[in-house]
Structure 1
Amino acid sequence: MSIYRIGIDVGGTHTDAVLLDENNQVIAETKAATSADVSTGIFHAMKAVIQQGQVPRNQIKYAMLGTTHCTNAIVERKRLNEIAVIRIGAPATLAVKPLIGVPDDLREKLGQYVYIVRGGHEFDGREITKLDETDLYRIAYEIKGKVNSVAVTSVFSPVSRGHEARAAEILQEVLGEHIPVSLSSEIGSVGLLERENATILNAAVVNVAKTTADGFIEALKNEGIEARVFFGQNDGTLMSVEYAVKYPIFTIACGPTNSLRGASYLSNTSDAIVVDVGGTTTDIGVLIHSFPRESSLAVEIGGARTNFRMPDLISIGLGGGTIIRVGEDGAFTIGPDSVGYQLPEKGLIFGGDTLTATDVAVGLGKVQLGDPAKVAHLDKSVLEKVYAELVNHVEQAIDKMKTSAAPVPVILVGGGSILLPDELKGASEVIRPNYFGVANAIGAAISQVSGQVERVYSLQELGREKALEMAKQEARNEAIKAGADPDQLVVVDIEDVPLAYLPGNATRIRVKAAGALAKVEETEVV
């Protein structure tokens, strides 16, 4: 029996969906307008691609979703959990309270129940002071019935997780197993405040992730499909529903990484720069061994500074729906605002009244779309200048992402990439693969499952080889928990950075393991 999979990715303008066979060949593809509530657009895209594919529904065994639900919830400050924030770090960290530097409106939402208890560790795993379990029990009874999610952060927990683990045991003993507890050692890396912020945001979007997952599974069942569901992660891999509900923060920025993975697969290229042009923005990222390059910088999400893993991306306000304004003297501005999903109504070539980047490309004969007669009256010399500036914006962004002046392959994907020419400065070649318009959904569908660990180890105690082996095994275990086949796991990335400013020959080790999805049995359902 053939086994099929659905891949869906939510963008700012369109929600793309594809149906692939067991050889990852495209059977059907579609684009639907991204809806304000996100979910409606997902359901429309899913329904359309299933009907178009005309394959037996009982043979669709996998469904992958890359979604912006959690990002939107944080940015809009909506649908967030009622959370408690517990830091294990008194008396060492009392000078700087949790949520310092977070925007006032977000702090107001998430800072109702904030506590600092005694405990925490040094960088080498030694206790700063004993964990105050009595205080934790007091806090647990105080917040019982008032919160539905808890964020726990301990000093240097990436080195020693004992205090966080014990805190979780106490909280769930009092609050119940149904109350999720997010632990910073499982989310962020070294750097207390940024790791704490990432953990707080994770705790705040647990319900959003669960509601999204339940809705997606229910929608599949309504279509007569019993499939295993996976969510896209922001490192270009997948995770199971259970894993996604525990670590929803990892879905943030999964859209661009899906595009990078799809671009790599469609072009059969492992190292390149990917330019993903949508209706509203253009995202530029870098492929290294077929996976997105990760950012080494702290990243702001909804105004909160965090340090959990994120892809290294540049986003510019340029897409198919970008609004172009031309003055009487021929001076012009490009965006950054866009008509977005309303392009088929507002673009000049479709009978609308707004000049967009797509209209410019059509007016110059570079793209065949809509009614070219609607833009025939525009001054070609002005359009040429606008187009040159559009391309220049992209070329400058590509240059910023390069680590040397040498030309590199550039892969163009996304529906808006039809706007760009076949030659770009700084590119050794420009690749526009088949199905480039739905590369993001394909990336979601074909991705592997991964696990990653990032810890500080004291080589004085363990030795380098033992520390590396421990990190590799932890990464493999994380991948298996996320839904990977244990027999097909490989370590795809190792980073070992000595920390000269710490005593004890300390080093930070980051390991990622990835592998194919665990095989689904013909009788297995969600």
Structure 2
Amino acid sequence: MSRLRVGLDAVAARAVAMDERSRIVASCRGLPEADSPSRLLGALVAEGIDAAAIDRVVAILPEPVPAETGARVGVLRIGGATALPPLVGWPAGMSGALAGPVAMVRGGHEYDGTPSAPLDLAAVAEFARRCAGNVRAVALAGVHGLENPDHEQQAAALLADVLGPEIPVRKGSETEAIGLLERENTAALDAALAEFARARIAELGAAVRKHNPEAELYLVRGDGTVLPELAAQRHATACLGAARAAMLHGAARLAGVAAAVVVETTGGQTVVGTTRGGLLPESGAHREFGGIRIGARLPRLTVLNRESSLSSAVARARYGYDDLPVVLVGDRSVPDAIRLLDGDLAAAVGAATAEAAGSVDRIFWQGTGGREDSAARARQLARDAAVRAGADPRTLRETPVKEALMTYVPVPAARLQATAVGPILEPVAP
């Protein structure tokens, strides 16, 4: 029996079912903001596809509004007493709606993972008592928690003992943001949205399993790759920007090309982006959510109005790859471009065909093994993260490791970036 992959674009209310050769075998078009993801899935099945053949559903969900959908959260900083305090720079409306008790306690680690100071467990327990009955979730972040998450793990265990398992705890070390404030903000927003994300994704998961109990559910991330259902419930911020990212990948796949410059026109705005090797080039800028800077990075996009030079934007988007084709989604005109007849399905196609990826962006202490050992560790961490996201370890592709020496730290260290990406692991045939 041929397996089907379903892509649900709940933002534009579009859905597609695709076979193992990435051909669209069914599609449906609903009403944005009226048709829920569950209704879209039901409408797609009603088109006559065999629900038992669906082995994967990949969804793009509308982005939440934190001040409206988030819950009050406590925030704990481990170490970093001389740094800017937690929640600095948060808009007043956001902090007023979401911020519960905030504390900074002794602890944290150095660049090489050695403790800066013992974790102050008594202060953590006092913070937990302040949170009891006052918050729906807790976020914590430790200095250099990416290199050594031990203090975060100890604090999370103590918080769970005091608050109980029904209060979610989100850790900064679960993100890949290199900066402490970005990790902290990401963990805080993931914590605030934990209850909302869990309920929304669980509802869709129940609908998927109603049609096929064996089907797997994934959510699209902001880079167009996927997160498994349970991981997406824990990391709502990872899915910001999913609709546009999936559209870029899906447009190239609809056009039958592996890489492309994609031009999307909606209303009076045109967006130009690039997809290559299943990845979107990063701009280097951080994403903001509700006016708060978080760890996720933005893809490299150019936003134009009708009077802007589209040809110049396309030339820049090629980044020296002059043979990259141009794919059009919308009604603007570009010479020698591929115009999609079903461009409104691009994001749903991008979801249905999405891959899994893992990325690492952190400072590595370069010990006796030097750069080679650090680079090998970065590649392995990226591969491990990709496999946790659902990738088949046998077919992973790796990007070259990027390195920036850290000349202002007291130990030999370098910032390394690495990514691994590949197709989702296929379920074992019965």
TM, length-normalised to structure 1: 0.75
Q: C-alpha distance in 1, partners of 2:324/2:395?
A: 31
Partner secondary structure for residue 152 of structure 1: strand
| 1:410 equivalent in structure 2 | 326
Cα distance in 2, alignment partners of residues 30 and 56 from structure 1 = 15
> In the alignment, does 2:4 pair up with 1:9?
no
Give the C-alpha shift of residue 109 in structure 1: 1.6
CA-to-aligned-CA distance 1:279-334 (integer Å, 9 cap, x gap): 68543222233311123122221111223233223445x6xxxxxxxxxxxxxxxx
Task: Report Cα offsets for 1:35-59 as digits up to 9, x if no partner.
Answer: 16xxx3423432332222x122111
Residue 506 in 1 paired to residue 422 in 2?
A: no
Is the Cα contact below 8 Å between 2:225 and 2:356 reproduced in 1? yes
User: Contact (CA 8 Å) 2:193, 2:236: kept in 1 or not?
Assistant: yes
Find the aligned partners of 2:114 and 2:96 in 1 and give their Cα distance: 35
Could you say if the C-alpha distance between residues 61 and 155 of structure 1 is closer, same or farther in structure 2, counting changes exceeding 3 Å? same
Structure 2 letter corresponding to 1:45 = L
What pairs with 1:48-127 in structure 2 (closer than 5 Å)?
A: 48-52=43-47, 54-68=48-62, 71-74=63-66, 77-89=67-79, 91-93=81-83, 96-127=84-115
Code of the residue aligned with 1:24 in structure 2: it is: S
Q: Match of 1:19?
A: 17
Q: CA deviation at 1:501?
A: 2.7
Using a 3 Å threshold, how does the CA distance of structure 1 residues 489 and 290 change in structure 2: closer, same or farther?
closer
AA of the residue aligned to 1:137:
A
Instruction: State the shift of 1:63 in Å.
Output: 0.6
2: CA distance, partners of 1:210 / 1:279? 34
Of stretches 79-88 and 141-150 in structure 1, the one that deviates more from structure 2 is 141-150
In structure 2, distance between residues paired with 1:401 and 1:190: 26
Q: Which amino acid aligns with 1:23?
A: R
Task: Report the alpha carbon displacement of residue 193 of structure 1 after superposing the two structures with TM.
Answer: 1.9
After TM superposition, the structure 1 = structure 2 runs for residues 71-470 of structure 1, keeping only pairs within 5 Å, are 71-74=63-66, 77-89=67-79, 91-93=81-83, 96-223=84-211, 226-278=214-266, 282-315=270-303, 390=306, 392=308, 394-395=310-311, 397-398=313-314, 401=317, 403=319, 409-413=325-329, 417=330, 419-423=331-335, 429-433=336-340, 435-470=342-377
- Alignment partners' CA distance in 2, 1:444 and 1:310: 18
Q: Which amino acid aligns with 2:9?
A: D
Q: Is the 8 A contact 2:100 2:134 kept in 1?
A: no
Contact 1:188 1:309 in 2 (8 A): no
Q: How far apart, CA to CA, are the structure 2 residues paired with 1:515 and 1:88?
A: 35
How many residues are matched?
A: 430
The Cα shift of 1:3 comes to 1.0
The 1-side partners of 2:424 and 2:319 are apart by: 33
SS state of the match for residue 298, structure 1? Answer: strand
Aligned to 1:386: none
- Give the counterpart letter for 1:175 in structure 2: L
The one-letter amino acid paired with 1:208 is F
Q: Over aligned residues, Cα RMSD in angstroms? A: 2.5
- Of 105-114 and 485-494, deviating more is 485-494
How far apart, in 1, do the equivalents of 2:3 and 2:68 lie?
A: 38
Deviations 1:247-300 (A, max 9, x none): 221100111111121123233434432122346854322223331112312222
**Structure 1: where are the runs of 5+ without partners?**
319-389, 424-428
Alpha carbons of structure 1 residues 7 and 170: separation in structure 2 relative to 1, 3 Å = same
- Relative distance call for 1:494 and 1:263 in structure 2 (3 A) is farther
Q: Alignment partner of 2:207: what SS?
A: helix
Distance apart, 1:216 and its partner CA: 0.9
Q: Percent identity over the alignment?
A: 29
Cα deviations across residues 470-522 of structure 1 (Å, max 9, x unaligned)? 22222222222222223333324532222233343311112222222222245
Q: Partner of 1:97: helix, strand, or coil?
A: coil
Q: Which moved more, 1:228-237 or 1:480-489?
A: 480-489
Residue number in structure 1 paired with 2:37: 42
Distance 1:102 1:400 in 2: 34
Give the match's secondary structure for 1:456.
strand
What is the distance in 1 between the residues matched to 2:127 and 2:247? 44
> Could you tell me the TM-score, scaled by structure 2's length?
0.91
**What residue is the counterpart of 1:352 in the other structure?**
none
Aligned-pair CA distance for 1:192 = 2.1
- CA 1:513–1:404: 2 relative to 1, 3 Å: closer
Contact 1:235–1:254 (CA under 8 A) maintained in structure 2: yes
CA distance in 2, matches of 1:279, 1:225: 40
Gap runs ≥5 in structure 2: none
Say which one has the larger Rg: 1
